[in-house]
Chains A and B, each alone.
Chain A
Amino acid sequence: KAGVTQTPRYLIKTRGQQVTLSCSPISGHRSVSWYQQTPGQGLQFLFEYFSETQRNKGNFPGRFSGRQFSNSRSEMNVSTLELGDSALYLCASSLGGFTEAFFGQGTRLTVV
């Protein structure tokens, strides 16, 4: 069956712009979580959605937001981009309830 799909794979944006990233989970998975990976901070949890509700949130500013649709697809939005937002953004899906999470290939965002 198809894995977790993230689009786009690569993005270049200018400081001050906003960006939207997309994540399509494995069929049947209702939990989608997002992560930011940078060389300095490593892999950090952003937020988690289950059945269109944000259940969990990491320690990131309000410029980072997300949503989940009724088909479990999720989007992540970053407004007023800063140079420090350059990172690999990963999403994962699972059945929920602390079951095994599977990751997409990531979106590599560069802010110039």
Chain B
Amino acid sequence: GIQVEQSPPDLILQEGANSTLRCNFSDSVNNLQWFHQNPWGQLINLFYIPSGTKQNGRLSATTVATERYSLLYISSSQTTDSGVYFCAVPYSGGGADGLTFGKGTHLIIQP
């Protein structure tokens, strides 16, 4: 099946810093999502971005499907940005849904 690798696994930054999280995937995909997992475990949707670039406030994401990677940018980090960030792609083709996740990037923003 498709492999998803996220880097770095852990990231500690000071409030106000910028960060870039990377997601590499081993095969072509027609769906890619970024999530932020809150302390209670819920996955919060950040971006649905099979290709191209999107921005939402201080967050933006870029997917280069032909090179099989996606980047999540966080600017002017706040302590509330802390948590685990996951990228996910389709588990398999054939028309059925379901996602394969990377192991996540654990981000800690220190005041």
Q: Taking beta carbons and an 8 Å cutoff, which residues of A are in contact with B?
A: 31, 33, 35, 37, 42-45, 47-48, 50, 55-56, 58, 88, 90, 92, 94, 96-106, 108
A45–B86 Cα distance when bound, in Å, is: 14
Q: Interface 1/0s, chain B 9-38, versus A by CB < 8 A? A: 000000000000000000000110101000
A100–B99 Cα distance when bound, in Å, is: 11
Shortest C-beta distance, B96 to chain A (Å), equals 4
In the complex, what residue of chain B is closest to A48 when comparing beta carbons? B98
- Given known A90-B43, A98-B31, A106-B42, contact A43–B97 (CB-CB < 8 A): no
Interface residues of B in 53-111 (CB under 8 A from A): 86, 88, 90-92, 94-101, 103-104
Partner of A42 from the list B40, B90, B94, B103 (CB cut-off 8 Å) is B103
In the complex, what residue of chain B is closest to A42 when comparing beta carbons? B103
A47–B92 Cα distance when bound, in Å, is: 11
A47 and B97 contact, CB distance less than 8 A? no
* A to B contact number (C-beta, < 8 Å): 73
Q: Taking beta carbons and an 8 Å cutoff, which residues of B are in contact with A?
A: 30-31, 33, 35, 40-43, 45, 48, 50, 86, 88, 90-92, 94-101, 103-104
B104 and A45 contact, CB distance less than 8 A? no
B99 and A106 contact, CB distance less than 8 A? no
In the complex, what residue of chain B is closest to A46 when comparing beta carbons? B98
- Given known A56-B91, A98-B30, A98-B31, contact A45–B40 (CB-CB < 8 A): no
Partner of A56 from the list B30, B92, B101, B104 (CB cut-off 8 Å) is B92
A30–B1 Cα distance when bound, in Å, is: 24
A101–B45 Cα distance when bound, in Å, is: 8
